Chain A
């Protein structure tokens, strides 16, 4: 148990669907992150939130829309995704620049 919970663990969706990924951290951290992990590639940082404010948008396409309603919850809203968006999406949290704690990810498949 890492203290970071992601739901759902698996998601299959069509390109025209709208879905959301959820992340919740129980560690009292002030920073949360979304990463994309594709096979044989480095983790790609997508978004960073610090005290609920977005501090980083790493040139992510607008079909990915993050939301951070409070410092414990982070969402990633998905719409009109492409097949190349199939990947493992990982959420992480940290206290300031301390080591990050990761959830187990959502395995996303786009049909």
Chain B
């Protein structure tokens, strides 16, 4: 069943601007992961944040997790045209299964 829900569904920004997208989920989790999907390709793992972590960075990506609000955010700083893609959050409990949201489509305009 769907666990994560991303917001907004779509986002259009100018190159160089920051992009923020949010993910909400319903039940307790072990970790939350963000993935990117370019058009016509598979998903690529970006970052994993565990339930006992509050913030994580990877290059231009910053992820926060608020377990009390059951929400996470992904921030992409100084966006580039190559960041144009769909972004998905996925939650994991105590097994191998991931529950994905429907994704946020990000368009970076040159």
Q: Report A's interface with B, CB cutoff 8 A.
A: 2, 4, 6, 31, 33, 40-43, 45, 48, 50, 55-56, 90, 92, 94, 96-97, 99-105
Q: With an 8 A cutoff between CB atoms, is B12 at the interface?
A: no
Give CA–CA (A48, B100) in the complex, Å: 15
Q: Give me the interface of B with A, judged by CB distance under 8 Å.
A: 2, 4, 30, 33, 35, 40-45, 48, 88, 90, 92, 95-103
Which of B40, B48, B96, B101 lies in contact with A42, CB distance below 8 A?
B101
Residues of A within 8 A of B92 (CB): 97
Residues of chain A within 8 A (CB-CB) of B43 are 43, 90, 92, 100, 102
| Docked CA distance A74–B79 (Å) | 37
Known: A48-B96, A96-B96, A97-B95. A102 touches B42 (CB 8 A): yes
Q: Tell me whether B41 and A41 are in contact (CB under 8 A).
A: no
A90 and B101 in contact, given A43-B88, A96-B96, A97-B95 (Cβ under 8 angstroms): no
- A97 to chain B: closest residue by CB: B96
What is the CA–CA distance of A55 and B4 in the complex, to the nearest angstrom? Answer: 22
